[in-house]
Structure 1
Amino acid sequence: MAQVTEVRLVDDLDGGEAAESIAFGLDGRTFEIDLSETHAAELRDVLAPFVGAARRAGGSSVPVTRQKSASRSSRSREETTAIREWANANGHEVSGRGRIPSSVLEAYENRGSAPARVEEPEPEPEVVAEPPKRRGRKKAAAA
């Protein structure tokens, strides 16, 4: 089962297609708005005289903008369960929770093109009985 999740930005002013998310702050609060290219340019033009006269406060020097994205790489709960079951059945060690190792994800995605990995059980180590330890003789106290 293949699944594609697509994220589309919607302009918060007119409901049309947005090109980016713009983060800005006012009165100690941070806001984010999704805008089309036209509305983003309008916002920047309106704020330009204020930004030009203002001084920078602390914080990130990299603007936080999110361009429209075609897909996300997250997997559904059902898919991760299926990957874990496949991995355990094919000799991969995977925990029941947490991140699935990239090597296992790669093997799962290529499962039709390559033979399954089967680990041979390691032979049990031979148990060798150690000879009993000798006890040292106590030295007689010199008189």
Structure 2
Amino acid sequence: MATQIQKILIDDLDGGTANETVSFAIDGNYYEIDLSDENAKKLREALNPFVTHARRADPTPSRRRRSQRSTSREKSAEIRSWAKAQGLPVSERGRIAASVVERYEQAH
């Protein structure tokens, strides 16, 4: 017995049939939206004045900057240890509160 799976796109704007998934980014956030040909054209026409005056950018550098800002595991362990010794609330896992990191950096 054969199985056939169909992927049907629904226009995220008006609920009709979509023909494509459009990707775009703004303010460092990346989005995808399923649109009909007509709505995709409207989106592109609305963005065109800005796109024609913009320069292309590689999204990788911003990701690199974020990863450089992120705290290494070793430093996280050091901050957690310091925070506990100071009596500050800090979780065993996950992200360390910015206020705790800031106090650690001020102390060092």
Q: TM-score range by the shorter chain?
A: 0.5 to 0.7
The one-letter code sitting in structure 1 at the alignment partner of 2:38 is: T
What is the CA–CA distance in structure 1 between the aligned matches of 2:45 and 2:11, rounded to whole Å?
A: 18
Give 1:59 shift. Answer: 5.0
What is the CA–CA distance in structure 1 between the aligned matches of 2:11 and 2:27, rounded to whole Å?
A: 24
Percent identity, aligned pairs only, is 50
Match of 1:87 in 2: none
Match of 1:22 in 2: 22
The one-letter code sitting in structure 1 at the alignment partner of 2:30 is: T
> Secondary structure at the residue paired with 2:56?
coil
Larger Rg: 1
The one-letter code sitting in structure 2 at the alignment partner of 1:39 is: N
Higher RCO, 1 vs 2 (CA within 8 Å, ≥6 residues apart)? 1
5+ residue gaps, structure 1: 61-143
Give 1:58 shift. Answer: 1.2
The answer to whether structure 1 residue 48 and structure 2 residue 48 are counterparts is yes
TM-score, structure 2 normalization:
0.53
- Size of the aligned set, in residue pairs, is 60
The one-letter code sitting in structure 1 at the alignment partner of 2:25 is: G
**Superposition CA RMSD, Å:** 1.4
> Secondary structure at the residue paired with 1:34?
strand
5+ residue gaps, structure 2: 61-108
Structure number with higher helix proportion: 2
